[in-house]
Chains A and B, each alone.
Chain A
Amino acid sequence: MSARENLYAALAGMSAEPSASDMEKGAALQSLQHRLRALEFGKRGADVDLFLFRAAEAGTKVHRCSSLQEAASLLSTHIGTGKHCILASDPLIDRMELSRILAGNQCHSIRVTDADLGVHNADARHGYAAADFGITVAQAGLADSGAILISSSQNESRSVSLLPVEHVALLPADRIVPSLLQAAPMLRAMAGDGGTSAATLVGGPSKTADIEKVLVTGVHGPAVLTIIVIENTV
């Protein structure tokens, strides 16, 4: 027998209740789900202030803007001149006219959609790795931890939030949910058909404490994570 058949045969033979039907398994899971939902961690509010507080606590740089215009001018100042930027393709970024603003700052910017980053495309990869800023739009924010949810798609590569020195994420305030429990349905949808191969929760800048528990940021990923919460995106 193959290793696969052996494993399944062994597992079938040793269930605590081998007679348990799929229906019983479903009922048991449902009762666990019920207890899980009664837990405190899923019952907090979708509080923007708490999100900002928790994110800052985790070492993320946070800003709060009331409009897209305000966010755009803040980003322009934040990035400065002569920088190399990579932008996700997102309606929000388009409406902020970031490409135009960055060009005005003598920044070199490319869109994620401009380059395939496959193994064969070494130049594009090194270009990403040399970038100062990767700018993306978050799918959700988790108030109780200050983390954001991002995902790989035709508009956003995995590398844009990974290779540059700084990752800037724009987060519309209405995408903030209380906790990871409320983001579970989003993760489910992302994993399904028409979804993504990679959904990632980002809870701060890349960091390590592997040397004497001393915190150092920017090990392998971005050394700086900046989140700009935008109240009104209309």
Chain B
Amino acid sequence: MTKFTTPIEPENIKLLIAERIHDPQLRGNIARATKTSLVKRAVVVEDFPDWEEMRGVAHDIKRHVMDNAGKYLAQFEERASSAGAQVHFAADAEQASRIVCDIAARHGRRVAVKSKSMTGEEIDLTHALERAGLEAIETDLGEYIIQLAGEPPSHITAPALHKSRGEIGQLFAEKLGIAYSDDPEYLTKVARRILREDFLRADVGVSGVNFAVAESGSICIVENEGNARLSTTMPKVHIAVMGFEKLLPDFESLSLFLNMLGRSATGQRITCYTSVLTGPRRAGEHDGPEELHIVVLDNGRTRMLSDPQLREALFCIRCGACMNVCPVYQKIGGHGYGSIYPGPIGSIITPVFRGVERAAAMPFASSLCGACSEICPVRIDLHHLLMTWRERISEKRQGKIAERIAMRLFQFIAARTAYFDFSGRLFRMFAPLLRDSDRGLRTPVWGRTRAFPAPPEKSFKQLWAEKIEREGEA
């Protein structure tokens, strides 16, 4: 098992990438997993000849909700409260964690079962609960694996995607004291047996929220394993943490988004379990939590909403398709970005959540090929938002004098036709020498491992002129 040493933080991105790019095992794990997801997705998206229009409607619904976020949040709060839920508000990660820990403390401060939540990861809730003296248990199989390994998730829907079955087998043997096996079926059964007891003894269940329905105050949680249903059913208290961008107006909108989320995330028409929870256990019901707490989190989201370009990133439904399709993600995996939100969307929202100083390199970890924008079910213009960040970061950046002089020179030449033509001719003349020589064109990263491409014999301008001439003759 490869042991990486660099802490997974956005400012370490270059080191993180350098470590990972040379690990064939890791690259194989990621390539296999992302490709499987994409193939499965492609099949079920074919169900709808009007998938593009679906994306358009989904985009416009999210835009509408964010344009009226205050109104929809007030409606959600009012309905959820009248259904018996307690709605809390947190300005940042620390406040949110404190609210959750305080509730847990009132109920004995013993065992909390957690179902997978990216918002939970964002505020580092598991560690906060542990610091508050609770036993906090991740119950999603992927999360359970990385909790045992002491690692953060590497993908927002498949957190242990970077690990092979052999690595997981070794981990289970080491941490759980079972005989080594790399059989996924066996390893899953071991986890089921251990976690089933945890569900039955837990006092508090903690979950995220996929969608919040304003018209009824319901929260909707989407999953395949059943751990979210167990976490929100067995303990006496259920605490759900959500950003306000999870709001949807009504159940019709929900039906559209559920049709798109499962397909985009895992290639499923619908996931195994979709829970629509409205308030705590009602009179006459036989089980379910006695208390339901919903913690509504800001943590930089209002800042994003006030930004005319970046606000679109709030439309994200966390399907992970942009990661699966990203040629950079496919090579370096989630940990290569240093953020729990990796990939194209992660590179856009992390600078907001963690501060642009810490995450300034993330928007540059992209080829800008646009595959992310094309696959996004809510049609977020991801690669242009990456460009937006690049522009902002470059404008602020001082130094790099050579780069600035080069750009000035280019600006001067490009604005003058004769200079431009002449420099092009010079380049075509001398480039083959650069290509053949040992010295080569050693640009910092790109040129080190690649041959310089051969220049064309003629410029586009020359070819065009010849074409016009030929057509004139014909």
Residue B128 interfacial (CB < 8 Å): no
Interchain CA distance A116-B281 in the complex, whole Å: 12
Known contacts A7-B91, A206-B272, A213-B32; A188 and B64 CB within 8 A of each other: no
Query: What are the interface flags for B397-416 relative to A under an 8 Å C-beta threshold, 1 for contact and 0 otherwise?
Result: 00000000000000000000
- Nearest Cβ on chain B to A12's Cβ, whole angstroms: 5
Residue B74 interfacial (CB < 8 Å): yes
B286 close to A209 (CB less than 8 A): no
Chain A residues with CB under 8 A of B69: 11, 15
Interchain CA distance A213-B266 in the complex, whole Å: 10
B37 close to A11 (CB less than 8 A): no
User: Nearest residue in A to B90 (C-beta to C-beta)?
Assistant: A3
Interchain CA distance A36-B53 in the complex, whole Å: 9
Interchain CA distance A180-B132 in the complex, whole Å: 42
B184 close to A125 (CB less than 8 A): no
A15 close to B70 (CB less than 8 A): yes
Known contacts A159-B287, A212-B33, A220-B195; A197 and B225 CB within 8 A of each other: no
A25 close to B284 (CB less than 8 A): no
Residue A234 interfacial (CB < 8 Å): no
Interchain CA distance A203-B302 in the complex, whole Å: 35
Known contacts A58-B269, A206-B224, A210-B141; A41 and B276 CB within 8 A of each other: no
Query: What are the interface flags for B193-210 relative to A under an 8 Å C-beta threshold, 1 for contact and 0 otherwise?
Result: 001100110010000000
B281 close to A197 (CB less than 8 A): yes
Among the 9-residue stretches B15-23, B248-256, B440-448, the one with 4 or more Cβ atoms under 8 Å from chain A is B248-256
- Nearest Cβ on chain A to B261's Cβ, whole angstroms: 11
B188 close to A216 (CB less than 8 A): yes
B256 close to A122 (CB less than 8 A): no
B302 close to A40 (CB less than 8 A): no
Chain A residues with CB under 8 A of B262: 203
User: Nearest residue in A to B281 (C-beta to C-beta)?
Assistant: A197
Residue B54 interfacial (CB < 8 Å): yes
B188 close to A36 (CB less than 8 A): no
B256 touches which one: A14, A20, A36, A191 (CB < 8 A)?
Answer: A36
A157 close to B268 (CB less than 8 A): no
Interface residues in B262-286 by Cβ distance below 8 A to A read: 262, 266, 268-282, 284-286
Residue A77 interfacial (CB < 8 Å): no
Interchain CA distance A187-B277 in the complex, whole Å: 10
Q: Name B's A-contacting residues (CB within 8 A).
A: 29, 32-33, 36-37, 47-50, 53-54, 56-57, 60-61, 64, 66-71, 73-74, 83, 89-91, 95, 139-142, 145, 158-160, 163-165, 168, 184-185, 187-189, 191-192, 195-196, 199-200, 203, 213, 215-218, 224-227, 229-230, 232-236, 244, 249-256, 258-259, 262, 266, 268-282, 284-288, 290, 292, 296, 298, 302, 305-306
- 27 pairs from A and B in contact (CB 8 Å cutoff): A6-B91, A11-B69, A11-B305, A12-B70, A29-B249, A33-B252, A39-B48, A54-B269, A145-B269, A153-B284, A154-B285, A158-B286, A159-B233, A159-B287, A180-B259, A188-B215, A197-B279, A206-B224, A209-B224, A210-B141, A210-B158, A211-B187, A213-B158, A216-B184, A218-B188, A220-B139, A221-B272
